[in-house]
Amino acid sequence: MRRGLLTLRGIAAAAALVAAAAPAYAHDQGRVHATITPSSAEPGSRVEVSVTGCGGTTGAASSGAFTGEAKLTGRDGDKYSLNGSAMIKNDIGGAYDVTVICDGHPHQGVGTVQVGQQNHVPEAPVRAGGGGSAQLAVTAEEEGPGTLHAVIGLVLAGVAAVAVAFRSVRRRRRSE
């Protein structure tokens, strides 16, 4: 009896979830459209996102090409466009779909952004500023301590040992 009651409750809960989700799928995705300017962007560049067909004054646009979500704002979206901007990720290329969330619903694939690879990618650090000290720092990091450093360290250790020995001798003489 108890198992049958639990089964009926489970079926009722599942039916309620399906009924609640149905309006979201029935939402008209065909009227929402996103335009990306420029439509072909370089990695690391900023693009403008303009969305039409959304009711309200706010929304968000996302894409696998964006570093984060683009916040969209504007006047009444049914009559005017919602606008925002997004930064393109570095080191990517290809076509990416844009998803817009407005009216409380996601609208997937309502726009596309084409990301072209940069023609030149720096392979070594650029020499800039530091008056040339940056090159010395890189050389010192690569080589590590040399013979000169070892000799200086040994001399300092010897001086410290002699100072401790003299101090110990002076204390013994005073206490006698």
Residue 17 belongs to some domain of the structure? no
Handedness of CA 113, 119, 125, 129 (dihedral sign): negative
Which of the four pLDDT bands, split at 50, 70 and 90, describes residue 36? very high
148 or 44: which leads in pLDDT: 44
Tokens at 89, concatenated: 């990720």
3-state SS, one letter per residue, for 95-117:
EEEEEEEECCEEEEEEEEEEECC
Residue 154 belongs to some domain of the structure? no
Count of helix runs (H) and strand runs (E) in the chain? 3, 8
Provide the percentage of residues in the chain whose pLDDT is more than 90.
39
Residue 3 belongs to some domain of the structure? no
pLDDT at 145: 74
Residue 77 is part of a domain; what is its CATH number? 2.60.40.10
Residue 74 belongs to some domain of the structure? yes
Residue 20 belongs to some domain of the structure? no
Amino acid letter for position 11: I
pLDDT digits (tens, 9 = 90+) for 46-58: 999 999 988 888 9
Residues 105-134, mean pLDDT to the nearest whole number: 69
Residue 7 belongs to some domain of the structure? no
Say how many domains are in the chain. 1
Interatomic CA distance for residues 74 and 55, integer angstroms: 10
Interatomic CA distance for residues 80 and 99, integer angstroms: 19
Write down the pTM of the prediction. 0.51
- The average confidence (pLDDT) of the chain is 76
Residue 72 belongs to some domain of the structure? yes
Interatomic CA distance for residues 130 and 25, integer angstroms: 59
- Backbone torsions φ then ψ of 110, nearest 5 degrees: -90, 0
Interatomic CA distance for residues 123 and 130, integer angstroms: 20
- 65 CB-side CA count, 13 A: 30
DSSP-assigned states of every residue in 43-91: TT-EEEEEEES--SSEEEEEETTBSSPEEEE-S-TTTS-EEEEEEBPSS
Residue 16 belongs to some domain of the structure? no
Domain extent at residue 78:
28-115
